[in-house]
Amino acid sequence: MPRWILITKKPKPRAAAPNPAQPEWIFTRWKCTWISIPRISTCAWANSLSSGDKPIGLIPLIISIPGTIKTFPPKLKTTASREAVGVFHFLPHKIPLSFPDSLGPFAARLQPARRPADKLANTELGFRLSSQIFQIDYSFSYFHGFDKSPSIMFQPVFNPFGAPQDMLITPEYKPYQVFGADFVTTRGQFALKGEGAYFRTEDTEGIKPFIENPHLKYVLGMDYYPRDDMHLNVQFVQKIRLKYDPNQEQRRLQELGVYNPRVADRREQSLSTMLKFEPLNFTSVQLIGVMNLKDRDFFLLPILNYQFADGLNIYGGATIFSGPEESPFGRSKPYSRAFVEVKYSFSR
């Protein structure tokens, strides 16, 4: 029988926490014997936690419990692992949202964001099956949870004469499902990576203008290690919205009272890069950059790290947003900043 293990993580202090001791993750660990073709094999789940990071990070980050299942069919030796996780407390992206004070003739009134309540029915679940063949690591995954970026809901407020006078703006985190796959392989100093996913949202027919349409998203990337102290990553990202017509989307928004709506394209492409270099002992430099190809807006994150002593690190860097005013990164220009951070890690 599977043995269930509860892991309780004490959350950071926050106002009106419903239950500070509520477990945030649950996972299974067991040993079993199962029938494989053509032989009987055994499976044993590992005891340690891992970060669960995907090679490029397209699939939502989950905390995973890796295990190995070794099978030995004729002429092919492979290793597979299964992972499962349940997350009880929803954590959205920490990307700031900004809205104008007015939308054309209407005053814009921003409402509190609607987040999923911390209850069993809103548990986020993730599963992944990983394996290797012909020196290629690959996996298939499934995620059922909530979009970490909110849908923006607009609701007009009418005066006693029936004319709209204000517009209520409410960020709302909607449920969705993600079906994904990824691979990675190495050739000398290069590593080739790829990820793809289908996002099934609430707007399955593409008729709800305030909710994201179902869409495909994929990433193709390459890592290059020219030296032991240098790492370069480059990747291309594309998003394709399904059952989506920008003209129809704009008309629907206008019919609902949204003034001069700006809608997204059916396809979006971006490039990103990461360079990490260790020029001196105990010193590392890292630069991360992302650019949207259509709007030419971009984000830069340079970081300098110096290790003063064992466990003691000092970081300095900046977050830089730039681009046209209505572009995704251009809207975040006011949030560009520099930072200094001191981090000490305790060891047992």
For the chain, the three-class secondary structure string (H helix, E strand, C coil) is CCEEEEECCCCCCCCCCCCCCCCCEEEEECEEEEECCCCEEEEEECCCCECCCCCCCCCCCCCECCEEEEECCCCCCEEEEEEEEEECCCCCCCCCCCCCCEECCEEEEECCCECCCCCHHHCEEEEEEEEEECCEEEEEEEEEEECCCCEEEEEEEECCCCCEEEEEEEEECCEEEEEEEEEEEEECCEEEEEEEEEEECCCCCCCCCCCCCCEEEEEEEEEEEEECCEEEEEEEEEEEECCCCHHHHHHHHHHCCCCCCCCCCCEEEEEEEEEEEEEECCEEEEEEEEEECCCCCEEEEEEEEEEEECCEEEEEEEEEEECCCCCCCHHHHHHCEEEEEEEECCCC
- Condensed to tens digits (0 to 9), the pLDDT of residues 66-114 reads 333 333 334 445 567 898 999 888 888 877 676 767 766 777 788 888 8
Q: Which of 150-164, 216-230, 239-253, 312-326 has the lowest mean pLDDT?
A: 150-164
Give me the residue spans of the domains in the chain. 3-280, 281-348
- 320-346 residue pLDDT tens: 999 998 888 998 898 899 999 999 988
pTM for the model stands at: 0.68
Q: What is the pLDDT of residue 211?
A: 86
The pLDDT assigned to 328 comes to 84
In the predicted structure, residue 185 carries a pLDDT above the cut 50: yes
